[in-house]
Structure 1
Amino acid sequence: MTTIHGVGSAARFPRPISTHTIDAIQLRQKKNAKKPEHLCLLILGERGSGRSTFLANLCNYPDYTQSQAVEVCDPRRSHIAQKLKIIKKHLDLSSHINAPMILDLVIMEGFGDNFDNSGTSATISAYLNTQFENYLAEEEKIHRTGIIEDTRPHACLYFIKPNMRGLNDFDIEVLKKIQKQVNIIPILTKADILSQPELVSNKEIIKRQLRDNNIEIYDFGNDRIGDVFSYNDMHPFDKYTRSQNINEMVPFATTCSKLKYVHPWTAETLHIRKYSWGELIVEDFSNSEFAYLKGILFGSHVQELRNFTQNVLYETFRARKLLERRSAIVESNSIQQDIHHSMHRIVGLHFKQSDNSSKLSPNKLIDEKDQLLLDYERKLRDLETRLNSEQSKSTMSSIP
C-alpha cells in the first residue's frame, strides 16, 4: 500500500481515472463526440456495506450521501418493517471522465435492513420485469414518439460485506431471482480491513458459493486488463498485469473514502483513506480494484453491458412473453370453439326432443341437456379464471 507523508512526498501519485487514456473512451470520442453514452446501474447493498461511499467515489459527486434524507429511528416504530424505497439518480459524467456519459442510478434503499426480507427479491424482480414490459410496449407502438427511453438496468452492482462466510441466504435468494434479468457484478467492499490471505479466501468462498448455487454473474470471457487501460496507465507494481483476465478479479475488492485530497502537481482530486501508519489512495492501482472497476464500467465495457442486456436478457424475456401471449390466444380460441360446439349440441338436442319426443325418454333428454349446460358453465368459469390470472400477472409486473 502507498504511504503519503505530505505534499512534498515523493510517493507515487496515480493519475485518477478521469485523466487515464482509456482506449475505449478515446475511440468513442472520435467516433461520435456529441452523442453521450448511456448506462443504467442497479445498486444493491445492505446498510453499512460501503455502498454510498463507493458511489460518491465512482461519480465524484461529494453531495451524494448528503442529498439523502437522514431518517431518525423511532423506538416506538422499530417493530414495523420498513418498505423498500427506489431512489433514482440522473447524472451527467461528461466532465468527470472526459467523455460524454449519462449515468442513471437505481438505488434500492432499505435493501436487507429488515429482520424479515422475504419479499425483497420478488419486489426487485418485479421492478426489473416492469422495465422490460415498458420497453416492449414502446417497441410495439405503431406511432413512436422518437427514441425509446431505456430504463432497463444494464448492470447490477451487488455489494458484499467482508467476512469469512461469504454470501448469506438472503444474498443467494436475491441473486437467484434476478440473474436472468440483469448483469450481476459482485463487489467485495471495505477490503482494507482484510489481510491479503483473508482477501483471497473471501473471494474463493464467494466464487464457490456462486458456482454451487448455479448463480450466473456477468462473464467477461477472455477480456484482459490490457483491453481496459493503455500502456501508460499501468505500472510494474500494480496489483495486476495487462495479460491477466478480468474474471480473476471477480468479485472486485474495493476500498473507498469520503476524504478528498488535491494532487499537489496536477491539481486533480483524489480520495484518501487515513490510517495510523499512513494514507491510502483509492485511485491507486496497487491498492485496490476500484480503479479497474471504474475503467470497466465507464470505459471498455459500456457497450458490452448494453449489448448483453438487449440481445440476451431482453430478447429472452421478449420471446417468452410473446410465446405466453400466443398460448393464451390458442387456449382462448379452443375454449370458445368448445363453447360454440356445446351450444350447437344444446340447440340440436332441443329440436331432437321436439321431433322425436315419442321415441326418447323425457328424463334422459333432460339429463343430457343439464350435462351440456354444466359443461358450458364449467368452460366459462375456466376462461374467466385464466383471464383473471393473466390480468393479475400484468398488474404485478407493472409495480414500479
Structure 2
Amino acid sequence: MPNSIGLSMLPIQKRLYALKKGVNFTMMLVGESGVGKTSFINTLFDTLAIKPTAEFKPSPDKTTEIVPHKMEFEEEGFDLRLTIIDTPGFGDFIDNRYCWYPIVRYIDEQYRRVVYQECQPDRSNMTHGEVHACLYFIVPTATGLSQIDLEAMKNFSIRVNLIPVIAKADAFTRDEVNTFKEVVRKTLKEHSISICELIDQDSVADFIPEMPFSIINSAGRFEKEDGKTVRGRKYSWGLAEVENPKHCDFLKLRDFLMGQHLSELITSTESYHDNYRRDFMKYRLES
C-alpha cells in the first residue's frame, strides 16, 4: 500500500485545495475602439461572454473608461472567477497624450485596495482585483507602433504582465504579419519595453519569441471541403480559420492565457503585490 502521508502528498493537497477554492483571474483589454477586444473574448470562450455595446462617445470631461465584466466558469470541478476589464475611449480623442493615465491609476489602485484590506482586523471578506494580464491590441500600420502605443506599453509593462496582440490578422498576408511582428519586436527592444516582465522569463521562453500574437476573431462556423466545421471568416478568396496555426496565433494565445501559464500569471502578480506592499508600507511609515 503506497504511503498516503508525508511530503509526497503536499502537491496533491495543494491541488485539492486549489480545486476547492478556485482562482480569481483578471484580464485587461486595451486598444482603440473597433480593434476587436470584445470579439476576442467571445471567440476565446466560444460564447457571447460580453455583449457588444454602443459605440463609446468621448466627452470633454470624460477620458478612458474602466468597464469590468465578471463571469464564472467551471470545468471538471475547477472554478475560474474571471474579470474582464474593458477600456473604451482609449486612443479615441484628438489629444491622446494622457489616455493611458486612467488605466495606470486603476492598476495601482487595485494593489492599494488589497493593502488597505490586509490592514483590517477582519479580512474574511477580502476582494482581489489585481490585474494579472494586460492584452494590448495593436493596429497593424505601415508606420509601426505609434507614440501612444509606446508610452502606454512602457507604463503598463512595469506594473502588469503585458501581452501585445496584433488584431485582425486576416486583413493581411502572412508575410505582412510576420514583417510587422519583427518591427514591433525591434521597436519594443529599442524602447526597453518588456513583455510579461513579472514572470520568470525562462519559464515562458517558448512563448516570448512568438509575441506579439496575431489573432482572428469570429463566432461564425463554416464547413470545409473535407466536411470538418471550423470557426473563421469566409472571403471570396477563401476561409480564414481562427484555430489554424497557419492562419494566426489564436491557439498559442489561448494556451498561454488559459493553459500552461495561467498559474504563473497569477503568482507573478502576487509576487509583485508583495513588493508593492513592502514599498507602500515603508512610504506610509516614513510619512
| TM-score, L = length of structure 2 | 0.84
Gaps of 5+ in 2: 1-13
1:88 alignment partner, one of 68, 76, 80: 68
Contact 2:50/2:69, CA 8 A, preserved across alignment: no
| 2:165 equivalent among 183, 187, 199 | 187
Deviation string, structure 1 residues 120-179 (Cα, Å, up to 9, x no partner): 222111111110110001111122224x21101100000001123221001111112222
Per the alignment, residue 120 of structure 1 pairs with: 99
Instruction: From the CA coordinates, give the structure whose radius of gyration is larger.
Output: 1
- The reply on whether 1:62 has 2:48 as its aligned counterpart is yes
Where in structure 2 are the equivalents of 1:333-348 lying within 5 Å? none
Using a 3 Å threshold, how does the CA distance of structure 1 residues 307 and 63 change in structure 2: closer, same or farther?
A: closer
* Paired letter, 2:65: K
Which of 246, 251, 268 is the aligned partner of 2:212?
A: 251
Counterparts of 1:131 and 1:270, CA distance in 2 = 39
- Letter of the structure 1 residue corresponding to residue 46 of structure 2: N
Shift of 1:62: 2.5
The aligned residue for residue 5 of structure 2 is none
Cα RMSD over matched residues? Answer: 3.0
Task: Please name the residue that 1:8 is paired with.
Answer: none
- Are 1:318 and 2:277 matched, yes or no? yes
Deviation of residue 317 (structure 1)?
1.8
Contact 2:170 2:240 in 1 (8 A): no
Alignment of 1:101 with 2:80, yes or no, is yes
- Among candidates 172, 195, 213, match of residue 217 of structure 1: 195
Counterparts of 1:39-188 in structure 2 under 5 Å? 39-62=25-48, 64-66=50-52, 68-70=53-55, 80=60, 82-94=62-74, 99-146=78-125, 148-188=126-166
The 8 Å contact of residues 122 and 177 in structure 1, kept in 2 or not, is answered as no
Measured against aligned partners, the alpha-carbon deviations of 1:12-41 in whole angstroms (never above 9, x if no partner) come to: xxxxxxxxxxxxxxxx98775444332100
Normalised by the length of structure 1, the TM-score is 0.61
**1:139 to 1:98, Cα distance in 2 relative to 1, 3 A:** closer
Q: For the residues of structure 1 that align with 2:275 and 2:15, how far apart are their CA atoms?
A: 32
CA contact (8 A) 2:169 2:177 kept: yes
2:100 aligned counterpart, secondary structure: helix
- 1:327 Cα deviation (Å)? 2.3
Larger helix share, 1 or 2:
1
Which of 271, 277, 286 is 2:237 aligned to?
277
Distance 1:285 1:29 in 2: 32
Q: How many residues align?
A: 272
What letter matches 2:280 in structure 1? K
Distance change in 2, residues 1:208/1:100 (3 Å)? same
Which blocks of at least 5 consecutive residues in structure 1 are unaligned? Answer: 1-27, 225-243, 329-400
* Residue range with higher mean Cα deviation, 57-66 or 194-203: 57-66
Match of 2:262 in 1: 302
Q: 1:44 to 1:34 in 2, by over 3 A?
A: same
Instruction: Considering Cα pairs closer than 8 Å and 6+ residues apart, tell me whether 1 or 2 has the greater RCO.
Output: 1
Gap change, CA 1:284 and 1:37, over 3 Å in 2:
farther
Query: Aligned partners of 1:57 and 1:121: how far apart in 2?
Result: 26
Matched position secondary structure for 1:94: strand
Counterpart-to-counterpart distance in 1, 2:245 and 2:273: 35
Q: Percent identity?
A: 26
